[in-house]
Chains A and B, each alone.
Chain A
Amino acid sequence: MDQLASLERVEAELRVALSVLDEVHVDVILVDGSLFHHPKDRPQIGSLAYEKFQEVTALYRLLYNRTMKKNVVLAGIVKDSRSTRLVNTLGDILPHVMRDPSVFEMLQGVDYRWLLKISRDCDLLDTFLEEGERTYAFRYSAELPQNSNASSDDISSWASSILVTYLKTARDDLPLRIEVLVDEDNGTTQLDRALSVILPLSWQHPEYGVPTPILEADARARISNNETQIVIDRLMALSGLTYATLERRRSRNPFGG
């Protein structure tokens, strides 16, 4: 059910992005979250959610194609990335670097494997990046598991068209993971074009480096508890079932609490 709900949300977001493309002339579209579906959102073939997943992937493809066609920069802003791509790379490199006696001496007694295991890319990069700096860019496809069955569907081919980088937008905030859809020929130019828009939109607050349009969109989309309860009550009424059936006793304490 959670998977289905997540896919419904992604579908709604993709449809909004497509309608923006259709209705408004834009240069850049900032998407709240990743440009590619999360591996957890991929249901098993034949499951209840699989049909929805296929709809969503179709919408992804439609969005990618249209942005490319209209020369619009499509950028995903991932606020709380849990990615460990760079940490893993560092983990691969470190044993080679440690062959140097001076480095070995420095790291002696440090359990770097444990440190890397509990770190995410953003934690690591927060130490090294200064405000306004970014990491090298890599392709999203590099993060996908090689043996994934995702490689078999055609949306996976787009993963190599998505460049990923980490940008330190605010002095006292973690770096921001940014994903940009690019074409084969001038990927870096398109990435820089996107970042030249994202950085000035994100650096006003020294402790919160998220682009202001994302904050505004978040405020507009947010549904308050009160509104949620209204929807739930309405659904309950439509279902024809009573509170006694739908709510657990612990939630129906007549004195609240």
Chain B
Amino acid sequence: MTEKKPYAKIGTVICEHDSPNVMNFSFVVEGDVEDLVVRRGEFVIVDTKDGTVIARVQNLVRVNRYYQHAEAVREYQSRGEPLRSIFPTDRWQYTVAKVQVLGLWFEDRPLRPYFAVSPGAQVRRVKEDILAAFLKLDREEGLRLGKLAHHELEFSPSIDRLLSKHLAILAMSGAGKSYFVSVLLEEMLKRRKEQGRLAIIVVDVHGEYTYLKNLTPSSLEIQDGLIDVEHIRASHIQIPVKSLEAEALGALVADMSAVQVRDLRRVIAEMRKTKQDGYTLNDIIDYVRNDETISKNTREALVGWLINLEDTGLFGREALPDITSTVKSGKLTLIDLSDFISLKKKQIVVSHLVNELLYLRRRGTIPPFLLVLEEAHQFCPESRHELALPKSRIETIAREGRKFFALLCLISQRPVKLSTTVLSQCSNQAILRATNPYDLEHIGRSSEGIDREALDTITTLEVGEALFVGETVSVPTFVKIRKRHFEPTGTIQDLSQAMKKTDK
């Protein structure tokens, strides 16, 4: 059996019709017939005097001359005996691995491949240090998110590479998006002060991360330090009316006319002068009702809009929570929207939150932050502008946020519905299992680093496996996400459990 240890020889390069060429080659795999010496997706190397060629197995073809002629197989098996009991068929089986060249490693730096490996060259298992350096992993300070598929090497991208140009996590429902986010949050919270920490705000649409409020340093295997997690229920959130401009209020309702906005702007200006300690929507409604200078039609329309907004219960005199004091380096703030059924209410909260975060970060009032947005397609969809209140603000963060370290982590199970502007600004993507052809096509179009082969592989990913694409790794990389250190307790994982629990 061929050894699993790094640098063990696993095959020999062969000549085929058009290979070895600069970008591809094939090799005959060593070892016994039944051994899985090499797997699809595994990195391999070929040492040459001009550097180490780093490649990845794209496909494996098993060949056996006894089974090449379908007719002969059928005839020999017509008496009911398998061919392998008639002939020593196993002896003739061998495997050819089709390999794609990814790069050249020469004098501790990567180069573009510029030559073809020689037929007969020995193919070896990759050395971990070369692979880690080639993939630009940070083995000391990186976020330990899992292991490279088919390798023992820890996938530990540096926080700079993974998050500094936004991250999108895309997958179908149940593929492990939330699990991966939990792992990412654990890694972020484990960071020590001297390593640098981000403030993290999670918009938790389904209340999936509430369990993190019970997180303790020991559960994350931290010797010293404090885990700071704040859980804010949606029903406790209050948007201060005095901070809202007429345009901002207008944006919260559909179809407010320019005349209505103009009158509202005047009313708000008056209110700010007369009520300097703050006011509520009801105060504005009363003012509008009593203002004879506004035409009757405009007045009635404005009052209608404002009453609708007041009915959401989201607006008040003071800001709750105070974002300036809530958002802190190394702290996780969970905005739990699971109390809300109305999508509009969720959108109003997210819209306000994104606006405030962007404003405060621009002014340097709050530290660099990571905004984790679950169900991102609900808040910044590709179409349906009137129903997407926070879209333009999220797009602003996506476009400009990285300059002042306002960072996004967007999570979506319907990438095709997610704004292309936002998705294309996410320089890194973690793609978990997805099968919807429209979503796959959209991922392929919006992601520069993903090739056809990798795209096809997304449908075959197992739950908990992710394909990382973008600046965080030099080539699309498959990763087995690690287990969570801290598991939620008391949650119901599947339908059977839910039925048993309720049917007592």
Contact = CB atoms under 8 A, between A and B. Distances in A.
Nearest to B74: A205
A203 B87 CA distance: 13
Nearest to A206: B75
A204 B79 contact: yes
Q: Interface extent on B, as a size class?
A: 10 to 19
Interface residues of A, number: 10
A219 B87 CA distance: 11
Interface in B66-114: 72, 75-76, 78-79, 81, 86-88, 92
A206 B78 contact: yes
A204 B76 CA distance: 5
Contacts of B78: 204, 206
Contacts of A204: 75-76, 78-79, 81, 86
B79 A203 contact: yes
Interface string B382-393: 000000000000
Nearest to B75: A205
Contacts of B75: 204-208
B87 A212 contact: yes
Contacts of A203: 79
Contacts of B72: 205
Interface in A242-257: none
Interface in B56-74: 65, 72
Contacts of A207: 75
B81 A216 contact: no
A16 interface: no
A205 B69 CA distance: 13
B87 A216 contact: yes
A70 B79 CA distance: 35
A205 B88 contact: no
A208 B72 CA distance: 9
A216 B88 contact: yes
Nearest to A215: B87
A163 B76 CA distance: 29
Contacts of B87: 212, 215-216
Contact of A205 (B65, B76, B92): B76
Nearest to A219: B65
Question: Which of A204, A207, A212 has the largest number of chain B CB atoms within 10 A?
Answer: A204
A207 to B, nearest CB: 7
Interface in A179-223: 203-208, 212, 215-216, 219
Contacts of B65: 219
A205 B74 CA distance: 9
A207 B79 CA distance: 13
B74 to A, nearest CB: 10
Nearest to A204: B76
- Among B78, B87, B92, residue most surrounded by chain A Cβ atoms (within 10 Å): B87
Interface string A30-68: 000000000000000000000000000000000000000
Contact of B92 (A206, A208, A212, A219): A219
Contacts of A216: 87-88
Contacts of B79: 203-204
A93 B88 CA distance: 46
B250 to A, nearest CB: 79
A132 to B, nearest CB: 13
Contacts of A208: 75
Nearest to B77: A204
A211 to B, nearest CB: 10
Interface in B107-139: none
A29 to B, nearest CB: 17
Contacts of B92: 219
B136 to A, nearest CB: 43
A208 B76 CA distance: 9
A139 to B, nearest CB: 33
B70 to A, nearest CB: 14
Nearest to B79: A204
A145 B123 CA distance: 61
Nearest to A203: B79
B71 to A, nearest CB: 10
A36 to B, nearest CB: 29
A207 B75 CA distance: 8
Contacts of B88: 216
A109 B92 CA distance: 55
Nearest to B66: A219
A53 to B, nearest CB: 35
B489 to A, nearest CB: 62
Contacts of A219: 65, 92
B93 to A, nearest CB: 13
B257 to A, nearest CB: 81
Interface in A59-102: none
A212 B75 CA distance: 13
B78 to A, nearest CB: 7
A80 to B, nearest CB: 19
A161 B65 CA distance: 39
The residue among A203, A207, A212 with the most chain B CB atoms within 10 A of its own CB is A212
B183 to A, nearest CB: 53
Contacts of A206: 75, 78
A12 to B, nearest CB: 21
Nearest to A208: B75
Contacts of A212: 86-87
Interface string A139-170: 00000000000000000000000000000000
A219 B88 CA distance: 11
Contacts of B81: 204
Contacts of B76: 204-205
B89 to A, nearest CB: 9
A208 B65 CA distance: 17
B374 to A, nearest CB: 60
Contacts of A205: 72, 75-76
Q: Which 10 A-B pairs have the closest CB atoms?
A: A205-B75, A204-B76, A212-B86, A205-B76, A204-B86, A212-B87, A204-B79, A216-B87, A216-B88, A206-B75
Given A203-B79, A207-B75, A216-B88, 12 more contacts: A204-B75, A204-B76, A204-B78, A204-B79, A204-B81, A205-B72, A205-B76, A206-B75, A212-B86, A212-B87, A216-B87, A219-B65
10 contacts: A204-B75, A204-B79, A204-B81, A205-B75, A205-B76, A206-B75, A207-B75, A212-B86, A215-B87, A219-B92
